[in-house]
Structure 1
């Protein structure tokens, strides 16, 4: 909601507000000294004792002088925070470095630092610092750790100042804060060759020729460091400035990682739940394929994809794309969607080179939707979480229905692997290497050789 900005308070109002806050920060000792000084001054006036008046003025002036010095010092202390690193996997430690600088010409008194952190990261850290000399600085650090992924704000940093006599305590809260990103755990996966992978785009060897392809006929302006042998003289004469031929960017095999986030498809909560296993698996597969030169995008049941249509996942450094995917998976939550139709609509718009899906519980209708996704992809691998096993309610009829869903997916051409509690993703990833199903057959056959492009690099 917009509106007229409120007038800023003038310097006099800020000084009066700071003075009131400083007087309110008097400790019991400071209040006692001030009360004793006022009482001594009143008695000296009544009794006519000038020496007692001097003592009263001294007692009353001491806490007031401490207030004035501390009030000036409060705005001469700077604080900063640094995270190392700012993005960590779940169940890993990150160290927070705090720094306090005294930019005044006077030494500080006793300082107490307190940083605000969410309760899931651990207890609130507190530090006591002794006197900081003029122009000096102090650095302290503490560790934070979370078993749950997400983004957690750190701060603001609070600084409590105390004068050497203990007459006054003032608290200053800095406005800045930092964010710690806890991403899903990424497991290293073995290098495998997924059978049938090349069927999504044709002969994989044609794509590899792009690495040594012809130069793009569209020139660009000369940049410092460009090889002069790449100067395009015809364009240089046309535009009146030095132009060079652009090198063709190699085309990379596309891969889509589908993550089923439907709330009704996953049971349980916490770091050991089925949903967290699926999120960690999606992160592991995405990072693994990016390291192998794939163009990877993350797709959820809601139809949203990262990188988006403009990003494409094919441009830019793979480490930047990996960071974007991990940041997205760090905050992904359950969706209220009841089906996978929106994800299917996104997939039917193009031909995928490789499709890796992490699916929750499926009914007959959603199994049919997933089966149709296979028609638009080359190789398709599905990690299907067994909801009955994860909920510890394994029943005979439920297990039979689950096996029937797997059979239907395999008949549609999916490499469908069941996932139970405690399953190892690298072990399942190796199983995907040796399992291959063809549309219309439910039997699995070994595919030790193949001409498809590699999903995990050469063995």
Structure 2
């Protein structure tokens, strides 16, 4: 798109403001020569002064007449880049006029976290020709970063005038959390047919025996069960028979007081990366995945079969959400617990910061409403750095939270700084759990996935 619009004021005044040091020197020398010729009566000096003064003005007018004859485009590879990895930005400049361009200088606006602003010099572009340049960007911090608009600096052949024009288009680079491939495991307490299919027999028994659930975004309003809505004070819908499909909820603890450290090496960034890894892993194995945070923010269940899209497209939507998630100022997990009570059946995977005894007990009570439940419990005292000068969480408090969760049926994976989410996930395998009098309680690292049979949920 050619540079035009309100960002490109026109007129001789604009051209004069774009004069370079050389152009201003020529203009000043010419005016001085004209004044001296008038005072001294020298006609030859007058002609020299007019020549010196007209040259930069003519250069500015020439640039103003050619300001709309260049178009540009930008392409990102890829549009979503994992934190710590590079993305490449390709720029294309087209000369849409019938005359060659002069010296062109390109500068793309880039946020400082992605690196310095790239600058390129194009000597000459032939009529109807184009040039392509590229540069790399990299960020260790998640987020959505605008790239552009591209600034084009036009210069005349004599270097008398330079005019800067800004294109109107810009692109967004999304830096998503790092995703680690997780091994396939079989989780303790995992059962088949999560979700609405579990109510199949009840739904066939008649209206009096219908089991309602909380309304979810996208539910058909014709399924609203008004009797249950009046009883619970919340909008409830009837469960209907659905094909066997596994459901999963990934709970991410974003409480500021529950994490420690700053920047890419903080416990919060580890938690976000672990949540992204689990969500993508479950999507690839056919689960309908819902992302939930302690603030109550819930990304509705998504799966390739649900949306009709590829797994890569659905996982991209979840990663986009995790790319911009930030620490919250909440003190507890009450909002997330309320969402789980209204519709928390299926597999629950929680990535938790430090918990007090009450919060661990409340999460333990939620275990009865889920299928399998796995918790990444972060030992935040192992992360260096202070946040708001908070003291380190005592190890005894972490031990208490772990004990309460295990007693209520959770599979607890205790994570410290430097631990791998993939290694911890392998420890959640039901074959690695200590059984009655078996193996001395030592976990197995086999991680093999049992074959799926009819009526069973897929491997987690």
TM-score, length-scaled by structure 2: 0.78
Alignment match, 1:316: 308
Indicate whether 1:273 and 2:270 are aligned. no
Contact 1:200 1:377 in 2 (8 A): no
Alignment match, 1:303: 296
How far apart are residue 85 of structure 1 and its match?
0.9
How far apart are residue 81 of structure 1 and its match?
1.7
Alignment match, 1:217: none
Inter-partner Cα distance in structure 1 for 2:83 and 2:52:
57
Within a 5 Å distance, the mapping from 1:221-260 to structure 2 comes to: 250-260=243-253
Inter-partner Cα distance in structure 2 for 1:397 and 1:263:
13
Alignment match, 1:402: 398
Alignment match, 2:54: 61
Alignment match, 1:130: 123
Identify if the C-alpha distance between structure 1 residues 61 and 344 changes in structure 2 by more than 3 Å, giving closer, same or farther: same
| Count of aligned pairs | 399
Identify if the C-alpha distance between structure 1 residues 258 and 115 changes in structure 2 by more than 3 Å, giving closer, same or farther: same
Alignment match, 1:424: 420
SS at match of 1:264: helix
User: RMSD of the TM alignment (CA)?
Assistant: 3.4
Alignment match, 1:85: 78
Alignment match, 2:234: none
- 1:64-108: CA deviation from partner (whole Å, max 9, x where unpaired): 211111111222222222111111101111001112122223322
Alignment match, 2:377: 384
Inter-partner Cα distance in structure 2 for 1:341 and 1:411:
21
How far apart are residue 415 of structure 1 and its match?
0.5
- 1:187-230: CA deviation from partner (whole Å, max 9, x where unpaired): 011111113211774999999xxxxxxxxxxxxxxxxxxxxxxx
- 1:382-418: CA deviation from partner (whole Å, max 9, x where unpaired): 110012222489x999223322221111110100111
Within a 5 Å distance, the mapping from 1:30-429 to structure 2 comes to: 30-42=23-35, 51-198=44-191, 201=194, 250-307=243-300, 314-317=306-309, 318-391=311-384, 398-429=394-425
SS at match of 2:343: coil
- 1:206-255: CA deviation from partner (whole Å, max 9, x where unpaired): 99xxxxxxxxxxxxxxxxxxxxxxxxxxxxxxxxxxxxxxxx98542100
Contact 2:8 2:165 in 1 (8 A): no
Inter-partner Cα distance in structure 1 for 2:257 and 2:393:
19
Alignment match, 2:457: 453
Inter-partner Cα distance in structure 1 for 2:173 and 2:393:
45
Inter-partner Cα distance in structure 2 for 1:97 and 1:407:
53
SS at match of 1:192: coil
Inter-partner Cα distance in structure 2 for 1:127 and 1:97:
12
SS at match of 1:152: strand
SS at match of 2:124: coil
Inter-partner Cα distance in structure 1 for 2:351 and 2:345:
16
Identify if the C-alpha distance between structure 1 residues 315 and 38 changes in structure 2 by more than 3 Å, giving closer, same or farther: closer
Identify if the C-alpha distance between structure 1 residues 71 and 250 changes in structure 2 by more than 3 Å, giving closer, same or farther: farther
Worse-superposed segment, 382-391 or 196-205: 196-205
How far apart are residue 19 of structure 1 and its match?
1.9
Identify if the C-alpha distance between structure 1 residues 202 and 352 changes in structure 2 by more than 3 Å, giving closer, same or farther: closer
Inter-partner Cα distance in structure 1 for 2:284 and 2:322:
18
SS at match of 1:357: strand
Worse-superposed segment, 399-408 or 159-168: 399-408
Contact 2:283 2:303 in 1 (8 A): no
Inter-partner Cα distance in structure 2 for 1:146 and 1:14:
30
Inter-partner Cα distance in structure 2 for 1:20 and 1:379:
72
How far apart are residue 40 of structure 1 and its match?
4.0
Contact 1:410 1:437 in 2 (8 A): no
Contact 2:427 2:443 in 1 (8 A): no
TM-score, length-scaled by structure 1: 0.78
Inter-partner Cα distance in structure 2 for 1:87 and 1:353:
30
Contact 2:153 2:164 in 1 (8 A): yes
Contact 1:200 1:379 in 2 (8 A): no
Q: Unaligned regions of 5+ residues in structure 2, if any?
A: 201-240
Identify if the C-alpha distance between structure 1 residues 199 and 373 changes in structure 2 by more than 3 Å, giving closer, same or farther: farther
How far apart are residue 272 of structure 1 and its match?
1.5
Contact 1:192 1:454 in 2 (8 A): no
Inter-partner Cα distance in structure 2 for 1:193 and 1:396:
34
Inter-partner Cα distance in structure 2 for 1:178 and 1:403:
47
SS at match of 1:271: helix
Identify if the C-alpha distance between structure 1 residues 63 and 119 changes in structure 2 by more than 3 Å, giving closer, same or farther: same
Alignment match, 1:225: none
SS at match of 2:372: strand
Inter-partner Cα distance in structure 2 for 1:437 and 1:258:
26
Contact 2:196 2:242 in 1 (8 A): no
